Amino acid sequence: MVLLYLLEKEFKQFFRDPGLPKMAIAFPVLMMLVFPFAVSMEIRNVDLVVVDSNRSVASSKLVESCTASGYFNLVEVCDDPARAMQLMDRNKADAILTIESDFDRCLERGEALPVGVKVNTINGTKGSIGAGYLTSCIQRYYAENAPTQPTTAAAGPQLDVSSKYYFNTYLDYKKFMVPALIVIAITMLTGFFPALNIVSEKERGTIEQINVTPVNRGAFILCKLIPYWLVAFFVLTACLLIARWVFGYTCAGSVGLMYFFTAGNILVTAGMGLLISNYSDNAQQAMFVTWFFMMVFMLVSGIFTPIASMPGWAQAITYLNPMRYYADAMRGIYIKGSSLADVWTDAAGLLTIGAAMVSWAILSYKKTN
Q: What is the pLDDT of residues 79-136, one digit of tens each?
A: 889 999 999 998 899 999 999 988 888 888 888 888 999 998 887 778 888 888 899 8
Cα separation of 229 and 83, whole Å? 60
- In the three-class reduction of DSSP (H, G, I as helix; E, B as strand; rest coil), residue 369 is classed as coil
70 vs 50, higher pLDDT: 50
33 vs 158, higher pLDDT: 33
Cα separation of 113 and 364, whole Å? 70
Q: How would you classify the pairing of strands 95-99 and 115-119?
A: antiparallel
- Rounded mean pLDDT of 47-54? 92
- Rounded mean pLDDT of 241-265? 93
Question: What is the rounded radius of gyration, in angstroms, for the C-alpha atoms of the chain?
Answer: 28
Cα separation of 180 and 174, whole Å? 10
Asked if residue 158 has pLDDT above 50, the reply is no
Helices (H), the chain: 2-16, 20-38, 57-68, 81-89, 103-109, 124-145, 173-204, 207-211, 217-247, 255-279, 283-299, 312-318, 322-331, 344-364
* CA dihedral of residues 233, 239, 241, 243 (deg, nearest 10): -150
Domain boundaries, the chain: 2-39+171-364, 46-143
- pLDDT band of residue 160 (cuts 50, 70, 90) is low
Cα 169 to the center of its chain, rounded Å: 19
Cα separation of 287 and 191, whole Å? 10
Burial zone of 130 (CB within 10 Å; 0-12 exposed, 13-18 middle, 19+ buried):
buried
**DSSP states along 186-235:** HHHHHHHHHHHHHHHHHHHTTHHHHHTSS--HHHHHHHHHHHHHHHHHHH
Fold (topology level) of 46-143: abc type-2 transporter like fold (3.40.1710)
Q: For the sheet with 72-78, list strands across it.
A: 72-78, 46-52, 95-99, 115-119
Phi, psi of 163 (to 5 degrees): -110, 145
Q: Which of 5-14, 96-105, 318-327 has the lowest mean pLDDT?
A: 5-14
Burial zone of 121 (CB within 10 Å; 0-12 exposed, 13-18 middle, 19+ buried):
middle
- pLDDT band of residue 143 (cuts 50, 70, 90) is confident
183 vs 304, higher pLDDT: 183
Q: What is the pLDDT of residues 29-44, one digit of tens each?
A: 988 988 888 776 677 8
Average pLDDT, the chain: 85
Cα separation of 338 and 341, whole Å? 8
Report yes or no: 191 and 294 within 8 Å, Cβ to Cβ.
Answer: yes
Q: How would you classify the pairing of strands 115-119 and 72-78?
A: unpaired
